Structure 1
Amino acid sequence: MNRPPAEFGRIPPDPLRTFGTQCLERAGMLADHAEQLARLLVDSDLRGVRSHGTRCLPGYCGSISSRSVNPRPEFRVLKETDVAIHIDGDGSLGYAPMMMATDAAIAKARVKGVGVGAVCNIGHYGSAGHYVRRAMDEGCTAFSVQGAFPQYYRSNQDKRAAHYGNPPICFGLPSETEPPLVLDAATCILADYQRGEEFEALEEMIPAALFKSMGYTAIGTLLGGAFVGMAAQLSREVETRWKGSRNGGLIWVMDIGLFAPAEEFRQGVDEMVRLAREELIPLRGYDEATLPGAVEQRFEEEYSRDGIKLATEHIRSLVELGQELDVPVPWSQ
């Protein structure tokens, strides 16, 4: 999914942000939330994370206009300490309340060394990397995950154990001169589209990997679900009104200078990234061995300069969305 498309057009990021903002506002989202969400979706496109970029716009606009999620939420701080904050997202999409929790956790980590932000009663919060990268920009390392209750999918009845669930998850560690180490992924080693006999054969070939995948999913689902309050009666009541808000989110933020000098830590990340590139034999079919975060940095540099590669069908879906919402497409077709 996140490989560059074979058939594509290049769209500059600025008009894409403008278009996304206008579509979300027209669907009914608050203006500041629309601007923030459009910016984050384009950020994903810039990094080549196509699965969580502007291809999500039609679905999000549909959820907002149909009132599956709350387009005009009122966030509430349920609990706050020197090192933690807990926010009720009031049935909204997860981006705005999760970024609010992230900023609060960063501020706490800058003072106390560690900060934790939790959000309940939200819809999809997109790529976990949005929140982790925000913390990295402020000289922190972070971990984020989105979960649900009582399990990630509403039902696993008759589903294969290898596809137990797939919560978004991210770890991020900032560097100095090398690309940062950013594992922005999901807990299942099989993508949602990887189904069929050839993948079922892996259950006998590499069962240990799939058992690990199930474990990661269970832990991530609980940390981003029951741990942040999604088992509470309040969450059942919110979901009754806003059907798309059965998720929660969590971020742990740590100042990179908590235990060792920040510069020393960054140099350690640099050394790890460099040694992996210089010493490892690449995976079959690949020319080099890179750690997570390196490829995304390359895409961001190229796409910021030359325009974002969007698949032809992706561009078509955006044009159709603009026609549906009466929002003009601000790029040449």
Structure 2
Amino acid sequence: MIFHTFTEQKLRQFTESVFLKMGCPVTDAQLAADVLLKSDLRGIDSHGVARLSGYVRLWEKERINAKPDVKVVHETATTATVDGDAGLGLVVAPFAMKVAIEKARIYGSGWVAVKNSNHFGIAGYHALMAVEQDMIGISMTNASPLVAPTYANERLLGTNPMCYAFPAGKYPPLVVDMATAAAANGKLEIAQRANQPIPEGWVQDKDGNSSTSAHQLKDGGSLLPLGSDKDHGSHKGYGLSATVDILSAVLSGANYGPWVPPFVAFLEPSANPVGEGIGHFFGAMRIDGFRPADDFKQHLDNWIERFKSAKTVDPNKKVIIPGEPEYAFEQERKIQGIPLIDVVVNDLNELAVKLGIERL
């Protein structure tokens, strides 16, 4: 693999240009670019600028509305449902989290379900918005059906990520951001670009047999839930994924299970949808609704320090705090730049030529 390194600003300008060419308003283009760049900065390369071509293809298929009328369509004092009007999830999701944060600011907590949206980037971006307000942030979304439930050989669930983010004191926020599948589909895409095998336990073939081929999904296979298989706790990942699907879509009126529209443009959405678009779910809770925020942060710092000092099997390794590696990536890449493999760079430059913007 050959890596090319770009400054954050260079990639940000390029990404904004792509969204502007799609017809997004300037503020939306800037916000969408910020969400994608946050992913690349935090080392989650599968959900960053490498996804740009996917968004453009969906827009070309008229499955993404570049100028949506995002609005609250149902609410109580502490809850709301947002209609994303088929807009970029990168824009719809921050709108919804802001609604949750504002409700939490007034009432202590806010909960928002979203329908009629699209892929929203990394869940961590949206949960961290609440952390900035001394709140606990919760973010989740359903996704294209690629995952087979425990014992099944049929794609019925997405990778359905969930994120919980907590503000600390002298340490970076503690961020639990994970797919509820054994691996996110983006990790398979990275392996495909690098022409490398994947670990056993991530996918099964169309007959339900374990496979290490990163191309298995194209051949009718499926991802496995967190826990890999029935002998290693996959029912837990299945249960978590089901929870995300229900909160994100059954609650909001979005499509759920096998009816969730695919992210890839060459696959058509269900001809008989059960809802509207993709669904998300967000929560924000004021810490001072439970105890003084400074007290909480002090004790979370203490929690972090105790876990970091845990005895380990290998003396050369330490317990990793959730969100710690991503924070380290962000600090490094803001200075050293963001590396992209040549396959991604070539794809982005082809996109630039097609849209008539400056190449990377």
TM range (shorter): 0.7 to 0.9
Counterpart residue number, 2:145: 153
Inter-partner Cα distance in structure 2 for 1:98 and 1:112:
21
Which of 207, 229, 239 is the equivalent residue of 1:203?
229
Deviation at 1:163, TM superposition (A): 8.3
Normalized against structure 1, the TM-score is what?
0.85
Q: Deviations over 1:71-130 (max 9, x none)?
A: 221123212332122211111222222211111211121121111122111111121111
Q: Indicate yes or no: 2:296 matched with 1:265.
A: yes
Which of 175, 181, 190 is the equivalent residue of 1:188?
181
3-state SS of 1:218 partner? helix
3-state SS of 2:84 partner? strand
3-state SS of 1:225 partner? helix
Deviation at 1:230, TM superposition (A): 2.3
Counterpart residue number, 2:103: 108
Q: Deviations over 1:203-257 (max 9, x none)?
A: 3641xx211001001111100011112269xx99x98799x96211110100111
Which of 161, 166, 170 is the equivalent residue of 1:168?
161
Inter-partner Cα distance in structure 2 for 1:283 and 1:28:
53
3-state SS of 1:90 partner? coil
Counterpart residue number, 1:3: none
Inter-partner Cα distance in structure 1 for 2:29 and 2:270:
22
Identity score, percent: 28
Q: How does 1:1-333 map to 2 (within 5 A)?
A: 7-147=2-142, 153=145, 160=153, 164-192=157-185, 193=188, 194-196=202-204, 197=210, 203=229, 205-206=231-232, 209-230=233-254, 246-281=277-312, 287-329=317-359
Inter-partner Cα distance in structure 1 for 2:230 and 2:114:
38
Gap change, CA 1:7 and 1:278, over 3 Å in 2 = farther
Q: Could you say what the CA RMSD is over the residues aligned between the two structures, in angstroms?
A: 3.1
Inter-partner Cα distance in structure 2 for 1:165 and 1:280:
36
3-state SS of 1:328 partner? coil
Comparing 15-24 and 78-87, the one that deviates more: 78-87
Unaligned 5+ runs, structure 1: 1-5
Q: Is the 8 A contact 1:132 1:170 kept in 2?
A: yes
Q: Deviations over 1:156-209 (max 9, x none)?
A: 699637985310210101111123210111112344333253678953641xx2
Deviation at 1:317, TM superposition (A): 1.7
Inter-partner Cα distance in structure 2 for 1:115 and 1:202:
34
Inter-partner Cα distance in structure 1 for 2:323 and 2:146:
32
Q: Is the 8 A contact 1:69 1:245 kept in 2?
A: no
Inter-partner Cα distance in structure 1 for 2:123 and 2:313:
27
User: Number of aligned pairs?
Assistant: 315
3-state SS of 1:279 partner? coil
Aligned partner letter, 2:247:
L
3-state SS of 2:203 partner? coil
Inter-partner Cα distance in structure 2 for 1:77 and 1:271:
40
Normalized against structure 2, the TM-score is what?
0.79
Q: Is the 8 A contact 2:41 2:334 kept in 1?
A: yes
Aligned partner letter, 2:278:
N
Gap change, CA 1:161 and 1:178, over 3 Å in 2 = farther
Aligned partner letter, 2:145:
Y
Inter-partner Cα distance in structure 1 for 2:270 and 2:318:
46
Unaligned 5+ runs, structure 2: 189-201, 205-209, 213-223, 262-268
Inter-partner Cα distance in structure 1 for 2:272 and 2:69:
14
The structure whose residues are more often helix, as a share, is 1
Q: Is the 8 A contact 1:188 1:216 kept in 2?
A: no
Deviation at 1:25, TM superposition (A): 1.4
Q: Is the 8 A contact 2:127 2:137 kept in 1?
A: yes
Q: Is the 8 A contact 1:27 1:62 kept in 2?
A: no
Q: Which runs of 4+ in 1 moved over 4 A?
A: 154-159, 161-164, 198-202, 238-242
Inter-partner Cα distance in structure 2 for 1:202 and 1:56:
26
Deviation at 1:280, TM superposition (A): 4.2
Inter-partner Cα distance in structure 2 for 1:304 and 1:155:
34
Inter-partner Cα distance in structure 2 for 1:162 and 1:155:
5
Deviation at 1:66, TM superposition (A): 2.4
